[in-house]
Structure 1
């Protein structure tokens, strides 16, 4: 199969809100973002789909070898074959792709986070790094845009964490900082057994406000000169912020159900954001 077609199929099968914004990009940047997204999905699937940690770890090490081959060899996997010309065209650092794999590997070793500082490293690796790679593909003139990409990545990952608390708990993972859970009187047992108490809702409101703060910080960092080039990220942000709003409207009902937006509503949000930006 053609490597770019493989990546397009992988992105389409994910059903992610991210991919909808790619259609607004020029063809070369659309292919680049699709290949980057497919890479992230592949390494994330290793951790989510392997039942044995050591098998997952071995597979992630294989992916590290594939990343090395992108920059100085002949990669075997179609995703890495699609990425090879992308990293040259957009000057994407090898260490950033390796950081993404390191972030995925954290899920094998760390199902809990003591505080937000420790969670930040995870968010940086699995999301901020992706944001900065995306910023390179979209293009920028002011390096302040990389700070925007960093904070927007954190905001996206915090939104995912908030939306997926129940889904993650069913994998025995809790990404809510343990010290904040203690502060609000919520135990790991409450999360794992889907007890949506008033304390849990207060804890989630606190998490939602932090995510919104990161969105505000990101937008404040984005220079006007790069706003048009980074428009695809702003379209994604419109959808993800709407997810936060929906979680809040639902009463933070995320332990038993996954809050989601309808496809037509997401299209409407993207069109609105396009005209605003």
Structure 2
């Protein structure tokens, strides 16, 4: 199987938060966002797959070569749409590279577990803010505010994902909460170093989660401040994404992070209300 051409959904799952947020875009912008989503989904599937690390890394590097070829106007046929999007919206090579570099962090032999805060910041920039930098070009935001929005909203979304997926990540040996917050909460590595299962089961974990949730909320606030200076279609989609994830974060704060942790989601009616508020009203 050629991992560099993993089959992916061409668009987010219908009914998902991202699908609802993207479908309000004009057709060319919506199509470009679906192509970016497909790229991100493909490389994420490689990083999270069961192949040996060396095979994952090789597949991700082939993706890098193919994207570089698209940027040069000579991409493979199966990426013709992405090549068109790159030319139409001036999508930048460093942002695609950053996404792939983030996937390489997840494709290591040793899973990410209690990274230093600086490493977590780098990871968030690569797997989330870099996607945001590609997206804001499609949305049509001015460059400086677009980069700011991508930084803050991307980090807010990724931290929320980390807080949502603690148990799922622990099941594959990953724990993304920074070690500084864990140690402040009284969680220390064992004799064998940091272990994701032990972190997830530690009764002091909620204290670290609340602190990380505070960082996410601060990023949401900064993103809102950036979007407040803009009207119209260029901020509708990121407003919807931000609002859904802020609601998700609020649900988690209400539930807390003490085990056992029941799954938390934003209901379809609430998502519809968010969509109507930002896309129609």
The answer to whether the superposition gives a TM-score over 0.5 is yes
CA contact 1:21–1:232 (8 Å) conserved in 2:
yes
CA contact 1:184–1:202 (8 Å) conserved in 2:
yes
1:264 maps to 2:266:
no
Cα offsets for 1:237-277 (capped at 9, x unmatched): 0101111011111122577544222333322222233356x
Give me the whole-angstrom Cα distance separating, in 1, the residues matched to 2:171 and 2:77.
Answer: 31
1:66 maps to 2:61:
no
TM-score of the two chains, using structure 1 as the length reference: 0.87
Aligned residues: 268
**Partner SS, residue 43 of structure 2:** helix
How much has 1:225 moved relative to structure 2? Answer: 3.5
Q: Which runs of 5+ in 1 are unaligned?
A: 1-5
1:100 maps to 2:106:
no
TM-aligned CA distance change 1:85 to 1:129, over 3 Å:
same
TM-score of the two chains, using structure 2 as the length reference: 0.86
Give me the whole-angstrom Cα distance separating, in 2, the residues matched to 1:253 and 1:267.
Answer: 30
Give me the whole-angstrom Cα distance separating, in 2, the residues matched to 1:145 and 1:71.
Answer: 21
Give me the whole-angstrom Cα distance separating, in 2, the residues matched to 1:14 and 1:98.
Answer: 28
TM-aligned CA distance change 1:226 to 1:50, over 3 Å:
farther
2:80 aligns with 81
Pairing partner for 2:209 from 204, 212, 219: 204
CA contact 1:47–1:107 (8 Å) conserved in 2:
yes
TM-aligned CA distance change 1:46 to 1:258, over 3 Å:
farther
Give me the whole-angstrom Cα distance separating, in 2, the residues matched to 1:53 and 1:190.
Answer: 20
**Displacement over 6 Å in runs of 4+:** none
1:3 aligns with none
1:126 maps to 2:127:
yes
2:19 aligns with 19
**Partner SS, residue 230 of structure 1:** helix
Give me the whole-angstrom Cα distance separating, in 1, the residues matched to 2:51 and 2:123.
Answer: 21
Q: Which runs of 5+ in 2 are unaligned?
A: 1-6
Moved more, 188-197 or 134-143: 188-197
